[in-house]
Structure 1
Amino acid sequence: MLELYDVVELREAMPAEQLPAGAVGTVVHIFSDPSTAYEVEFADADGRTVAMVTLRADQVIHRDG
């Protein structure tokens, strides 16, 4: 299970959010009901948020470091 502020990578592209597969984001909220899901923030190189997406665990890969 992921924890708050874990760094994750998208397994699949999300064209509606303009996020490619492999995009890196940070877990900023964890939902547990009705099932586990993660609010993930994706930012540009300047640190500006470009997308906030709620994702299932199978849509992301935990990244070390």
Structure 2
Amino acid sequence: MNTKFFEYDVVRSTRSLGEDVPSGTSGAVLMVFASAHPQYEVEFVDSAGESLAVLTVKEEDLELVQRAN
């Protein structure tokens, strides 16, 4: 399966994902669940780098900020 994001990519939420993760919150992909409809486990952080939440997120709810090397 092709996935849009890979482990350790930095991503941003494209919509609010709950009280702790408003639209535009950055995070890192921790795990990729490849399937016909890929999902990603993402740790979202605040501007100081403190963890806000770890969520399983649909591909359409994320945008790429920086590709992991």
TM range (shorter): 0.7 to 0.9
Give the structure-1-normalised TM-score.
Answer: 0.81
Moved over 2 A (4+): none
Q: Which has the higher helix share?
A: 1
Give the structure-2-normalised TM-score.
Answer: 0.77
Alignment match, 1:55: 57
Q: Which runs of 5+ in 2 are unaligned?
A: none
Count of matched residue positions in the alignment of Structure 1 and Structure 2:
63
1:27 to 24, 29, 48: 29
Identical-residue share of aligned pairs (%): 30
User: Matched residues in 2 for 1:21 and 1:53: separation?
Assistant: 14
| Aligned-pair CA distance for 1:34 | 5.8
Which has the higher mean CA deviation after the structures are superposed, 18-27 or 29-38?
29-38
| Aligned-pair CA distance for 1:43 | 2.4
Q: Which runs of 5+ in 1 are unaligned?
A: none
Please give the root-mean-square deviation of Cα atoms over the aligned residues, in Å: 1.8
